[in-house]
A and B are shown apart, each in its own frame.
Chain A
Amino acid sequence: MFDREYSFKGRHAVYVKNLVDDAELFNRNIDVYMLAPVVGFLYGRTADVDKTDNTTTKIFTDVFLKEQTKLVFIYRLLLLLDEKVEKVSAEQRIDRAFRTDNDQEAKEKNMVLFDSYVLGGIEYLHEQLFNNKLHDQEFIDGLFEFMYEFNEDLLSRTSEEDIYDILNNYK
């Protein structure tokens, strides 16, 4: 996984270009690719590949290889948690996340799931962060607002439990 070239297509390609080249809110296409599935999952957004448009923008293999470790982590994370796309038990989800590395068919199925969150996340990010009429500085304002709201949300949630404790408990 994450060892070969990927092309964004159709409107998602346009969105990525908007975010990376026009608004300059992300340094590289792959930075969008890494955040999008997380955001897509958080806000319950999935989407299919848009084949109606010829626009593309790519992530090249060598770029993927650099970030492979992080991407595999995110991949496993989503596979552990997703119950929306397919109703699966906890045990099945763990299997899906960790046991399928050598199973070609299962991996492909997983990647379809992962990619649908990627595309959904791109749509969400584009909605939240991009607007044709904005100027340079206003993009930054929008970006900060996006983070601010999430931070507020996060603060209200983590006041109950400490993640560290949970993690440390695991033997």
Chain B
Amino acid sequence: MLLKNLTLQNFRQYKGEQILQFSADSNTNVTVILGENTSGKTTLIQAFNWVLYGNAHFDTKDFLLNLEIANQLKRGETEYVKVAVELIHDDMEYIISREQLYDCVSYGEVKPRQSAVRIQYKSSDGQTGFIEENDVVDTINEILPEDLSSYFFFDGERIGNLGRNDKSGRQDIAQAVKGVLGLNVLDNAINHLAGGYKNSVIGKFKNSIDIVGNENLIRLKGELNAKREKLEGKKLSLEDVKKMIGYYTSEKERLEQVLKDNKETADLQGKIEVNEAEIRRLEKRISDIRKRLINDFSSKAPFYFMQPLVKNAAHLLNDTKEFDYGIPHMHSESIDFLIKRGRCVCGTEIITGNEAFHCLMDQKNYLPPQSIGTLVRFFINDAKHYQESSNETYETIEERYKDFRECVNKISELRSENAFISKEIQGKVDVGQTEQQVVQFKKKLEDAEDEKDSLVKEIGSLETECDHIDNQIRSLAFASEKNKHIQLCLEYADLITNTLKGFYAKKEQEIRIKLEQRVNEIFTKMYHGKRKIVINEKYQYAVETPNLTKEFQAMADKSTGLETITSFAFISGIVDLAREKISSEDLDIKSEPYPLVMDAPFSNADEKHVANVSHILPQVAEQVIMFVMHKDWMHASKVLDARLNKKYELIKKSETHTEIKECK
């Protein structure tokens, strides 16, 4: 998005109509507007905010009409406040204008009316028109989302908003960033396709699977809903337990630290902690051994226990060797054929009920499929095979069990030792009570961990059950003709969703990594200290200062100069990234470059930083518009003069009248 010009009419101290043209040349892309404080720099920034979003934050509230004009109004007369911004976005030229009528209702009383905003567009092929009223707000937000606006109109004096540098205080701009970087389309598609159990394309398909007249499906759906409810309940409980665990852990650690700090008990406490570490290691080992033992038992026990039975069965089969003495290559159907034709292979007549008939019928027992010789042979082979595999079963399990017991005993020993030491500590006058509290918290922690484990198990099995039922519903539903179509639609929807999700995840991570890299590149150029910015999945950022303790970090961040630099690095990172087109062969996502408009960007930084910031910014944004004080311009001009195209000065004629003058 490129800004072409800004027109003000009677907006605050800008009496009459005044125009600012912006440089948009790729080499000389800096526009500077000089002016002292109170000359109207801030007002110009607010003009952007007002024309685009209808926001204006001034000390004297909403009164935007130039005061000199206002005072000249006679009763019944009206005057307009108007701001218009002309810009180019996505190959389209827009003129966004907002005007507000001011009405002199009586002497000395001028009232503002509603403001109205309009957008005129001109496309690259010459077509012009006005955007429909209902679409105006959305169009503006598509050009520059309001959420993100404070990063492109950088109001240096309002560090307060952006300065909340504690991680929780930072505004969640993930959505806006995604918008600027173009991931919104994918995000919305994925949400629409699979965003909710019920409210999504997939949810609707699943729901529309015909259940009327199919009792099983109805029952299954009921089961599924009940289980899902239960699952949600368990998940909530798990969250609570986790919180308690967090609390108990931090209390325990705090108290343990007290014990460590106390000279008398430092060693004893140390020994307890060493033992606890060993206990933990052993417990993990026990858990491993247990798993293997149960795996062995689960899989091998049946064959191990069936050994005596197999022996008996083998005896039985051995003693009765009367199978499969059938005629080679002959099938029961061959006999049927002979009987039907009435004559045996040897020529004997076969009539139902005669001796030949009975003989043949009997013979059928020894031919496939009635002949069982093969089955029995397989059975014996299997028996041998199972017998072999169960040879070592007992020894293996015994080994593991021995291991297991060793660990259990060792843990028991260590625990006794710790209990003993704990009693000693409790005997010490100063810290006895603290140790008691530690013991209490340890117990509470143990109980809570147990509860957490059982909840996790329950949740796991409930989830598996839900999946199974879901699959059953799908396979049952597929059987009905009516549902085959829906089933197919579901499969396509799944395929599409997974494809999009995969792509989105990949892109998002790429972008986040790039962003973090880019930001840190800029950051180290601007700030010569050993600092780094970290960006989390919510696109919130924080400064990490290695080698300093946490306390110092909190202090260090409070200096507003650092906050400014941090914000710059971040904004510059986003702006820089927004320039790159993110695309792939099949899916096309575009990103727009954005300009940087800044009011007093140097007001809180020192001379070196002024130079650094000035150096970086024009390389990073396609267009830079700066409102600067004369004193700060002295330092910045050395770096920026070469890139300057337009320079203006704000001449303060009076408290209520400022003129914009172009400097040649």
Contact = CB atoms under 8 A, between A and B. Distances in A.
Interface stretch (B81-89, B383-391, B626-634): B383-391
B387 A163 contact: yes
Contact of A90 (B286, B304, B316, B401): B316
Interface in B466-484: 468
A151 B394 contact: yes
Nearest to B385: A73
What is the size category of the interface that chain B forms with chain A? 35 or more
Interface string B403-427: 0100010000000000000000000
B317 interface: yes
22 contacts: A24-B294, A27-B298, A38-B309, A42-B305, A42-B308, A58-B468, A60-B468, A74-B306, A76-B379, A77-B313, A80-B317, A81-B316, A90-B320, A94-B320, A94-B376, A98-B372, A137-B408, A143-B293, A144-B397, A161-B311, A170-B318, A170-B380
Interface residues of A, number: 51
A151 B369 CA distance: 40
Contacts of A150: 305
Given A74-B302, A102-B369, A25 B294 contact: yes
Interface string B359-375: 00000000001101001
Contacts of A144: 397-398, 401
Contacts of B383: 73, 167
B336 interface: no
A80 B370 CA distance: 17
Given A31-B298, A39-B305, A144-B401, A73 B314 contact: no
The 9 closest A-B pairs by CB, nearest first: A98-B372, A31-B298, A27-B298, A144-B401, A166-B314, A34-B302, A80-B313, A38-B306, A35-B302
A85 interface: no
Interface in A75-116: 76-78, 80-81, 90-91, 93-94, 98-99, 102
Interface of B: 286, 290, 293-295, 297-299, 301-302, 304-321, 323, 369-370, 372, 375-376, 379-380, 382-384, 386-387, 394, 397-398, 401, 404, 408, 457, 461, 468
B316 A35 contact: no
B297 A163 contact: no
A167 B379 contact: no
A26 interface: yes
Interface in A157-171: 157-158, 161, 163-164, 166-167, 169-171
Which of A39, A74, A98 gathers most chain B CB within 10 Å? A98
A126 interface: no
B316 A91 contact: no
A15 interface: no
Given A28-B298, A73-B386, A94-B320, 12 more contacts: A21-B461, A26-B298, A42-B308, A58-B468, A70-B302, A73-B379, A77-B309, A78-B309, A94-B323, A154-B308, A161-B311, A167-B384
Contacts of B375: 98
A167 B382 CA distance: 11
